[in-house]
Chain A
């Protein structure tokens, strides 16, 4: 039963094929069995069984929602009241959140069953899940390779069927890249679509939560619960939430797809390129027309991102000072020593690197040359997107330059790791929504197709992904040993 989608599980729960308690026990058992993947930081067995019992009662009254009784898991960046919320860091290893993130509240009121908290790169800074204080997560397709990051635990858990679905967050590709490397479906919504309240901040103008699932229909179900205006998030967008499942079956006849030529140049692995070519051909068969588009400023997305994100991170992470919560060093000599050592001992190397970079870019004398310059480039990139998306309905391209790389392969070379974010980062700078959809395999490892849409066009993206999944079966494949 753990191999079913949310939609199938919801039917099984209603037909009496199994109860939510049965399902929850089955997933908890699998989590134990595949403990070595290191996908979970915390398993909340007791609470999960309690919620499952409550969900079964609710299902019996006929007052259930689609997610009622569905066992899912939260990325450990979302605050969960009374439950450790570590953000993958030693800094928050002892942090029991005193409140729920809005996203967590929404899943709770839908009656979803939380199995636990998922591993991630420390403070969501990383593309391989290797910066986690709790150790690297393994990719279920090949346990010597990384699952991607920062939502690596989420992607590995969904791919290995250790949860029916999971939440992720995406600042520069952290939902789409792990989804691609683990062969699952991931959606980064438009900036402001999903509340950031209680989602521990990395780079506030880029961070966005979203669903990580088996297929597009499940992503629509999850997004339905996650999306919506939230008074507690000052950048939440007050627009009505459409019915994301309503348009899934729409025909793609006449769909205009743009391929940014900058996405298919040097650096893209040829097997990945061939796989994407085949996927785009499927769309031609579904009635779409394909044209080339150009995004001239795209090449500067990585430099601009690695100014803006560290700048915002250096400000956001100043709250971790060893005074009110989180890690505090032993025997501080004075207040300065308390701050300096608590932060020095509590943060890992990648986080420190970004805090230092951000501090430098914001410091007197460099602010205009780096921070303001990066913001101007951000404007040009966002104009590229607006122009391209006025010519075509969506853009398609790779999510990553290659398939999953080996654990330990890039961790000592941060710049090389940053460069692998080339196809995902610009989307966050512009704030538009984008998905990763399983599109085949190269050298036995999953390849993701990226679909990029206009602001608030999540319903269109889901429709386009769903139609592809009606004529392909890449999304139904399961890693060997996890069937």
Chain B
């Protein structure tokens, strides 16, 4: 099975992932190789098998609805690329 250049571009767009035009061919080749590997899965009949999402088959724990943590805005924003007046700055979205 092979992945086309345009399918690679679609995935890159969905993932908001910039890839160089000159690298697309090599991604298509590598991903096609991975897909070949994955088609081996079809050799096994899995009808009626329950999908396993997690090794422990756990359910999410519940906890009391009480405040356990305070957000330290200053501390967390100290590592942000660009902030102003306690807000994260990004390029203008609405004209």
Contact = CB atoms under 8 A, between A and B. Distances in A.
A356 to B, nearest CB: 5
* Interface core residue of A95, A299, A360, A380 (most chain B CB under 10 Å): A360
A359 B11 CA distance: 6
A307 interface: yes
Contacts of A117: none
Contacts of B82: 328
B56 A328 contact: no
A417 B49 CA distance: 30
A269 interface: no
A370 B3 CA distance: 14
Contacts of B90: 323, 332, 335, 338
A355 B58 CA distance: 26
Contacts of B60: 234
Report the contact-size class of chain B (Cβ under 8 Å from the partner).
Answer: 35 or more
A192 B56 contact: yes
Given A343-B16, A353-B31, A415-B33, A337 B91 contact: yes
Contacts of A359: 11, 14-15, 17
Interface string B49-80: 11111111010110100000000100110111
A324 B37 contact: no
B11 A360 contact: yes
B38 A370 contact: yes
A306 B35 CA distance: 9
A381 to B, nearest CB: 9
B93 interface: yes
B53 A335 contact: no
A332 B91 contact: yes
Nearest to B60: A234
Contacts of B40: 299-300, 303
Contact of A205 (B8, B17, B37, B54): B54
Given A345-B18, A352-B27, A363 B11 contact: yes
Contacts of B43: 300
Contacts of B11: 356, 359-360, 363
A228 to B, nearest CB: 15
A18 to B, nearest CB: 38
B12 interface: yes
Contacts of B27: 352-353, 356
18 contacts: A94-B79, A98-B76, A192-B55, A300-B40, A303-B40, A304-B41, A306-B34, A307-B38, A318-B15, A321-B16, A324-B88, A344-B19, A353-B30, A356-B15, A356-B19, A360-B7, A376-B51, A415-B33
Interface of A: 94-96, 98, 191-192, 205, 231, 234-235, 237, 297, 299-300, 302-304, 306-307, 314, 318, 321-326, 328, 332-341, 343-345, 347, 349, 352-353, 355-357, 359-361, 363, 370, 372-380, 382, 414-415, 418, 429-431
